[in-house]
Amino acid sequence: MKQQKWSGVLFLLPGFLFFCLFLIYPLLRNFLYSFYDFKLSNINHTVYVGLENYARVIEDPIFWISLKNIIIYGLISVPGQMILGFIVAYALNASTKSSKIFRTFYFLPVVTSWVVASLIFKFIFTDQGLLNYLITDVLHLTESRISWLSEPAKALSVISMLGIWKGVGWAMVIYLAALQNVPKELYESADLDGSNTWQKIRYITLPSIKFTTFFVQIMLIIGAFNVFTSIFLITKGGPVHQTEVMLTWMYSKAFTEYDLGYASALSYTFAAIIAVLTFIQFKINKLN
């Protein structure tokens, strides 16, 4: 028994130390960094500034813009992915024929990397791109091309649409797995009662997959807050920081302006917001 006790530690230790060195140590170190003023150009010169970096975060107008943008992105893309993902899963679950090929099609965007997806969307929505060609020269909806990517509201909509396009397949797959576990007898007895499709969804399906919906919602909200690559590649946060989200702003502070201490404070603020948000969702879910 004693020997076994040591084997446990021996199996654990190499991996755990590796994990601590590259994940936990940076996490703690980052907290310290956020109390210092130091620049990427001179990493060894650090000045303790207390809470000043956090005070700067509160006073930083672009921080608030980035927070607003991420909330808008979440409010569009999370329900978009959930609702469409559920509808597709429900439709595919009902029909057996050809559902496999549909599932493949809907899932392909999930397999497409963020970089490639962002480049495709950039090309479609760019001034001389496919969409402008369609609406001006083919359908004659407008006289002049629309600048989809240089106006903040339009650019954010395009990026939210990219989020939905790329995420529906994931939500669909999770919902499909859950739908297959809903007992068929429930639907049969509802059929006997003469319930219509909407009533069945409302009173049988949705309550049975409550846990899955909660899981999908949490994962998608965390995912939305982590959006980076699409903004970074499509608008770079511009024009004049109007489409910045928290991670792109943190990144540009750190690696364009070299302001590491301040960027650390930004990243901790960001992580705290996600933690609080997740905590609140768990609380609400428990109450229900």
Do the bridges between strand 36-39 and strand 42-48 make them parallel or antiparallel, or are there none, so unpaired?
antiparallel
How many Cβ atoms from other residues are within 10 Å of residue 97's Cβ? 7
* Of the residues 173, 186, 190, 201, which one makes contact with another protein according to CB under 8 A: 173
Q: Least CB distance from residue 34 to another protein, whole Å?
A: 9
* Of the residues 79, 255, 257, 282, which one makes contact with another protein according to CB under 8 A: 255
Angle (CA) 172-177-180 rounded to 5° is: 115
Q: Least CB distance from residue 218 to another protein, whole Å?
A: 9
* Of the residues 106, 148, 160, 237, which one makes contact with another protein according to CB under 8 A: 106
Residue whose C-alpha is closest to residue 255's, from 263, 244, 245:
263
Q: Least CB distance from residue 207 to another protein, whole Å?
A: 18
Binding mask 4-23 for another protein (x = CB under 8 A): xx-xxx-xx-xxx-xx-xxx
Q: Least CB distance from residue 205 to another protein, whole Å?
A: 15
Nearer to another protein, 64 or 123 (CB): 123
Q: Least CB distance from residue 175 to another protein, whole Å?
A: 9
Identity of residue 204: I
Identity of residue 215: F
Question: Across the chain, where does the E strand assignment appear?
Answer: 36-39, 42-48
Stretch that binds another protein, among 59-67, 74-82, 186-194, 263-271 (CB under 8 A): 263-271
Q: Backbone phi, then psi, for 208, in 5-degree steps?
A: -70, -25
Contact flag: residue 36 with another protein (CB under 8 A): no
Binding mask 44-83 for another protein (x = CB under 8 A): ----------------------------------------
Return d(Cα 121, Cα 34) in angstroms, integer.
Answer: 36
Identity of residue 260: L
Task: For residue 215, give Cα distances in angstroms to 82, 103, 145, 178, 224.
Answer: 11, 21, 41, 11, 14
* Of the residues 78, 88, 149, 156, which one makes contact with another protein according to CB under 8 A: 88
